[in-house]
Structure 1
Amino acid sequence: MARRLPSQPPVLPGFSHVHILGSGGFADVFLYEQNMPRRQVAVKVLLSEVVNDHVRQMFQAEANLMAQLSSHPSILTVYQASVSSDGRPYLVMEMCSSALSERYRREPLPVAEVLRIAVKIGSAVETAHRAGVLHRDIKPSNILLTAYGHPVLSDFGIAATLVTADAEEAVGMSIPWSAPEVLLGENSGSVAAEVWSFAATVYSLLAGRSPFEVPGKSNKSADLIARIGRGRPQPIDRADVPHSLETALARAMSRNPEHRPRTILELVHELQAIESELGLAQTPIEVAMDDWALGTVSDLEDRTRVRALNSDASTSTGRPRRRRRRRAATAPESVVLENAQPSRSGSITQPASRSATALTWTLVVTAVLVLALAATAVYVLLRNNSSIPVVTDIEARERAGDVVFTWPDPGLREGDSYQIETSDGARSMQTNPAFVVAGDVGEEVCITVTVNRSGTTGSPSNQKCATVGQ
Structure 2
Amino acid sequence: MLPGYAVIRPLGSGGFADVFLYEQDLPRRVVAVKVLAAEAVNDETLRAFNAEADILARLSAHPAIVTVHLASISSDGRPFFVMEYCPDTMSARLRRDSLALSTVLETGVRIAGAVETVHRAGLLHRDIKPSNILITALGSAVLADFGIAAADDEDGDVAMSVPWSAPEVLQETTNGTIASEVWSLAATVYTLLTGRSPFESDRRQANTRDLMTGRILKAVYTPTGRDDVPPRLEEALRTALSKDPSRRFASAQAFAEELRWVQYELGIPPTAIEVASPEWARAAGLIDLDDRDRRGPVVSTVNPDSRRAQREAKQAEAAA
Specify the TM-score bucket, using the shorter chain as the normaliser.
Answer: 0.7 to 0.9
| Structure with greater proportional helix content | 2
Q: Cα distance 1:302–1:48, how it changes in 2: closer, same or farther (>3 A)?
A: closer
Q: Cα distance 1:273–1:302, how it changes in 2: closer, same or farther (>3 A)?
A: farther
C-alpha distance in structure 2 between counterparts of 1:145 and 1:110, whole Å: 15
Where 1:237 maps in the other structure, the secondary structure is coil
- The residue number in structure 1 matching 2:288 is 300
**Structure 1 regions of 5+ residues with no counterpart?**
1-10, 162-166, 304-470
Q: Cα distance 1:160–1:284, how it changes in 2: closer, same or farther (>3 A)?
A: closer
C-alpha distance in structure 2 between counterparts of 1:30 and 1:58, whole Å: 19
Where 1:295 maps in the other structure, the secondary structure is helix
Matched, 1:142 2:132: yes
- The residue number in structure 2 matching 1:192 is 179
Which of 1 and 2 has higher RCO (CA within 8 Å, sep 6+)? 2
Query: RMSD value over aligned CA atoms?
Result: 1.9
- The residue number in structure 2 matching 1:403 is none
- The residue number in structure 2 matching 1:85 is 75
Matched, 1:264 2:256: no
- The residue number in structure 2 matching 1:126 is 116
Choose the corresponding residue for 1:222, options 182, 203, 210.
210
- Moved beyond 3 Å, runs of 4+: 296-299
Where 2:229 maps in the other structure, the secondary structure is coil
Tell me by how many angstroms 1:20 deviates: 0.7
Task: Report the TM-score, using the length of structure 1 for normalisation.
Answer: 0.58
Q: Which amino acid aligns with 1:45?
A: V
Matched, 1:243 2:246: no
Contact 2:124 2:149 survives alignment (8 Å): no
Where 2:137 maps in the other structure, the secondary structure is coil
- The residue number in structure 2 matching 1:182 is 169
Q: Which amino acid aligns with 2:97?
A: E
C-alpha distance in structure 2 between counterparts of 1:120 and 1:297, whole Å: 20
Tell me by how many angstroms 1:219 deviates: 0.7
Q: Cα distance 1:212–1:20, how it changes in 2: closer, same or farther (>3 A)?
A: same
**Structure 2 regions of 5+ residues with no counterpart?**
151-156, 292-320
Tell me by how many angstroms 1:160 deviates: 5.4
Tell me by how many angstroms 1:250 deviates: 1.4
Task: Report the TM-score, using the length of structure 2 for normalisation.
Answer: 0.84
- Deviations 1:289-347 (CA, angstroms, capped at 9, x unpaired): 251354145452379xxxxxxxxxxxxxxxxxxxxxxxxxxxxxxxxxxxxxxxxxxxx
C-alpha distance in structure 1 between counterparts of 2:75 and 2:245, whole Å: 46
Q: Which amino acid aligns with 2:124?
A: L
Q: Which amino acid aligns with 1:275?
A: Q
Where 2:31 maps in the other structure, the secondary structure is strand
Q: Which amino acid aligns with 2:235?
A: T
Matched, 1:62 2:52: yes
- The residue number in structure 2 matching 1:468 is none
Where 1:206 maps in the other structure, the secondary structure is helix
**Which entry has the higher C-alpha Rg, 1 or 2?**
1
- The residue number in structure 2 matching 1:208 is 195
